[in-house]
């Protein structure tokens, strides 16, 4: 295979009305241009080159390993491609050109386009689709079923505007011929830009073979120029992702109101309720229940876990754990089997061994808590003195009474008991009782 790809991403994206470069806007959690570069890197091309310009530094922070050329001034899609001339000089293969703002394209489509281009011996092949409302897209003008050119919305006459076959912005060009044709384009049009699409008319005039490759699923070529189109792309992508989970056995109560990013994995018979947001590299086992208003990012969750209205970040949750409502797992927490954390419990960088329970109003930070220990309501690990963080270690089968302050660093032994309301500053040995609170005073008839 002798294929290179060029991904156009230098434009300002004026219609997006945003400070963020258009191609960095996300569709189901992934920046649009990253979707395109990811599929380009999987179709077997020998080189994938980005064309960057407007706010290129921001794009390079997201796409760190990409080759790129710079288009200093954004003078149109044709001008953008001309910037890659040096990269294409002497290359005798096919150049596939794509736009960074068509995030719904599938890898198979690009592979099929390339195969068709090769088998039809075309000099140029345009990916097209049919839109009932083709507004904004370049129209494919044909005579006797042969392409004669592409006309942009701005230059289109009434007759041309009525054409429903549109340019997807994806093409296969033979490199040598493309370079020759690019020499001939000008900016004599409504926008004063060098249009890549003018290459088509130039090819036709030179007697080259120009083909179209029609895509049935016109969702795939949706170009994102505005926030309205961005929302539409998110809906379509969400539907794709959610349908594929249901096909694999996941139960979604309302697929239109469940937000799952692309890399998330979910086991069979897990039920996801409306309003759940599953992000990053999260994996969830079988038979779990994820209730509404839950956000899970980059977590590994076992099976038969129940999570209600809670936030979980970068943590590990083993099987049969119950979380929430209103709990918060902050990064590097590890809840082992059968742990329960309940209302208003925050856990940070802590390990809760099998069967630990912390039902209410608790902060556990930088702590290790042994098997089956019970943490009473209002317990706080005082892990921070304003400068440094300190560790708390609690043994197994311990009972921490309600409203206990554990001033770290501190160790609480196995099977020990801490009385409610204590402020613990010294280690508690195993099997001991520790109480630290002022004695209760009764003054009879004091109110009289």
* Residues with catalytic function: 360
User: Of all helices (H) and strands (E), which one includes residue 67?
Assistant: strand 67-70
Binding flag, residue 6, ligand UD1 (CB under 6 A): no
How far, in Å, are 68, 313, 394, 418, 428 from residue 372 at the CA level?
A: 56, 24, 11, 15, 18
- Select 79 or 348, whichever has its Cβ closest to Ca ion: 79
Binding flag, residue 68, ligand UD1 (CB under 6 A): no
Binding flag, residue 80, ligand UD1 (CB under 6 A): yes
**In contact, 438 and 410? CB cutoff 8 Å:** no
Binding flag, residue 353, Ca ion (CB under 5 A): no
CA dihedral 267→270→276→278, nearest 10 degrees, is -10
Binding flag, residue 259, ligand UD1 (CB under 6 A): no
Question: Site size for ligand UD1, by CB under 6 A?
Answer: 30
With CB under 6 A as the contact rule, which of the stretches 57-65, 95-103, 306-314, 330-338 interacts with ligand UD1? 95-103
DSSP percent split of the chain into helix, strand, coil, nearest 5: 20, 30, 45
In whole angstroms, what is the distance from residue 56 CA to residue 366 CA?
Answer: 40
> What's the min distance (Å) between Cβ of 40 and ligand UD1?
14
In whole angstroms, what is the distance from residue 418 CA to residue 409 CA?
Answer: 16
Q: Which does 149 bind (CB under 5 to 8 A by kind): ligand UD1, Ca ion, none?
A: none
- Select 40 or 339, whichever has its Cβ closest to ligand UD1: 40
Binding flag, residue 195, ligand UD1 (CB under 6 A): yes
Contacts of 282 (CB under 8 A, 6+ apart): 261, 263, 264, 265, 296, 297, 298, 299, 300, 301
**In contact, 193 and 75? CB cutoff 8 Å:** yes
Largest distance between two CA atoms of the chain: 110
**Nearest residue to ligand UD1, scored by beta-carbon proximity:** 138
Binding flag, residue 11, Ca ion (CB under 5 A): no
With CB under 6 A as the contact rule, which of the stretches 61-69, 98-106, 294-302, 336-344 interacts with ligand UD1? 98-106
Q: Which of 51, 59, 84, 335 binds ligand UD1 (CB under 6 A)?
A: 51
Which residues lie near ligand UD1 (CB under 6 A)? 8-11, 23, 51, 71, 74-77, 79-80, 99-102, 137-138, 150, 152, 166-169, 195-197, 223, 225
């Amino acid at each position: 295979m002798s294929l290179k790809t060029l991904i156009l991403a230098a434009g300002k994206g004026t219609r997006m009305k945003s400070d963020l470069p258009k191609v960095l806007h996300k569709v189901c959690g992934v920046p649009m241009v990253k979707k395109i570069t990811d599929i380009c890197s999987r179709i077997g091309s020998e080189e994938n080159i980005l064309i960057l310009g407007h706010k290129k530094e921001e794009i390079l922070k997201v796409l760190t390993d990409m080759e790129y050329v710079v288009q200093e001034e954004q003078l149109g899609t044709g001008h953008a491609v001309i910037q890659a001339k040096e990269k294409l000089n002497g290359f005798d293969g096919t150049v596939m050109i794509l736009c960074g703002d068509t995030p719904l394209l599938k890898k198979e489509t690009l592979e099929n386009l390339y195969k068709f281009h090769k088998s039809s011996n075309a000099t140029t092949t345009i990916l097209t689709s049919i839109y009932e409302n083709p507004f904004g897209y370049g129209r494919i003008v044909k005579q006797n079923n042969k392409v004669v050119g592409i006309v942009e919305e701005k230059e289109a006459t009434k007759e041309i505007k009525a054409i429903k076959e549109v340019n997807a912005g994806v093409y296969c060009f033979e490199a040598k011929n493309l370079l020759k044709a690019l020499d001939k384009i000008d900016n004599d049009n409504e926008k004063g830009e060098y249009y890549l699409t003018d290459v088509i008319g130039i090819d036709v005039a030179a007697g080259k073979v120009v083909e179209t490759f029609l895509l049935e699923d016109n969702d795939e070529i949706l170009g994102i120029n505005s926030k309205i189109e961005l929302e539409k792309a998110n809906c379509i992508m969400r539907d794709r992702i959610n349908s594929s989970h249901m096909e694999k056995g996941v139960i979604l109560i309302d697929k239109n109101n469940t937000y799952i990013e692309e890399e998330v994995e979910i086991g069979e018979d897990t039920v996801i309720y409306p309003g759940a947001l599953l992000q990053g590299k999260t994996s969830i086992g079988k038979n779990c229940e994820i209730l509404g208003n839950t956000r899970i990012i980059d977590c590994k969750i076992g099976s038969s876990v129940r999570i209600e209205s809670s936030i979980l970040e970068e943590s590990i949750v083993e099987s049969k754990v119950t979380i929430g409502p209103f709990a918060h797992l902050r990064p590097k927490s590890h809840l082992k089997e059968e742990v329960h954390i309940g209302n208003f419990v925050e856990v940070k960088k802590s390990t809760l061994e099998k069967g630990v329970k912390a039902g209410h109003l608790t902060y556990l930070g930088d702590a290790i808590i042994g098997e089956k220990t019970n943490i009473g309501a209002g317990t706080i690990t005082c892990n921070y003195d304003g400068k440094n963080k300190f560790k708390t270690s609690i043994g197994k089968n311990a009972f921490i009474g309600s409203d206990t302050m554990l001033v770290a660093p501190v160790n609480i032994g196995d099977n020990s008991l801490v009385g409610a309301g204590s402020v613990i500053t010294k280690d508690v040995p195993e099997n001991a009782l520790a109480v630290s609170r002022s004695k209760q005073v009764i003054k009879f008839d004091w109110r009289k």
